[in-house]
Amino acid sequence: MLKQKASPESVLPPEKEQESIAQLGQILSRESAQPKLVTSNGEEILIPESVCNILRQAVQAMASDQAVSIVRYNHQLTTQQAADILNVSRPFLVKLLDEGVIPCIKVGSHRRIRFKDLIIYKEHRDRKRRKLLDQLIE
């Protein structure tokens, strides 16, 4: 069975770490910076861009005094998990799947949604909403 794995704890940075977090945020926000991890024995390891993106988001949130937690998802999601990520009802999500708006895989009588496909749909939906909101503001 596919299960969402989540850490029950969120991290809220202590007050004494705010200055270091702000400095880290500045370093990570530089587009030309390719961060490296330097081990205690001096070995340098380039931090992959995908990890940098997550780190950047976490540091920005922590610098804004927000709690941060990481939720891991399986490669394929149930319709309920996908609906929860999109913050929509399960029947609405099923309608999107039936209309072919979001691709899905049938496993027996159950639908599974690839996490990647769901995120592509979510980013497209969010861009469209932002564009419409900008037009409304104008």
Q: 129 lies in a domain? A: yes
Where is the domain boundary, 70, 99, 119?
Answer: 70
What is the per-residue pLDDT for 68? Answer: 84
Residues 97 and 57 in one domain: no
Q: What is the CATH number of the domain that holds 107?
A: 1.10.1660
- The range of the structural domain enclosing residue 62 comes to 12-70
Residues 53 and 23 in one domain: yes
In a 13 Å sphere around the CA of 138, the CA atoms on its Cβ side amount to 6
Which of these, 5, 6, 4, 134, lies nearest to 69 by C-alpha position?
6
Residues 39 and 91 in one domain: no
Residues 99 and 84 in one domain: yes
**pTM of the complete model:** 0.57
Residues 82 and 103 in one domain: yes
Residues 61 and 16 in one domain: yes
Residues 40 and 25 in one domain: yes
Q: 111 lies in a domain? A: yes
Burial (0-12, 13-18, 19+ Cβ within 10 Å), 59 = buried
Q: 90 lies in a domain? A: yes
What is the per-residue pLDDT for 2? Answer: 42
**Could you give the number of structural domains in the chain?**
2
Helices (H), the chain: 18-29, 49-63, 79-86, 90-98, 115-137
Residues 21 and 51 in one domain: yes
pLDDT tens track of the chain, all 138 residues?
444 444 447 677 778 888 888 888 888 887 666 788 899 999 999 989 888 888 888 888 888 888 888 877 778 999 999 999 999 999 999 999 999 999 999 989 999 999 999 999 999 999 999 999 999 998
Which of these, 70, 85, 80, lies nearest to 116 by C-alpha position?
85
What is the per-residue pLDDT for 82? Answer: 94
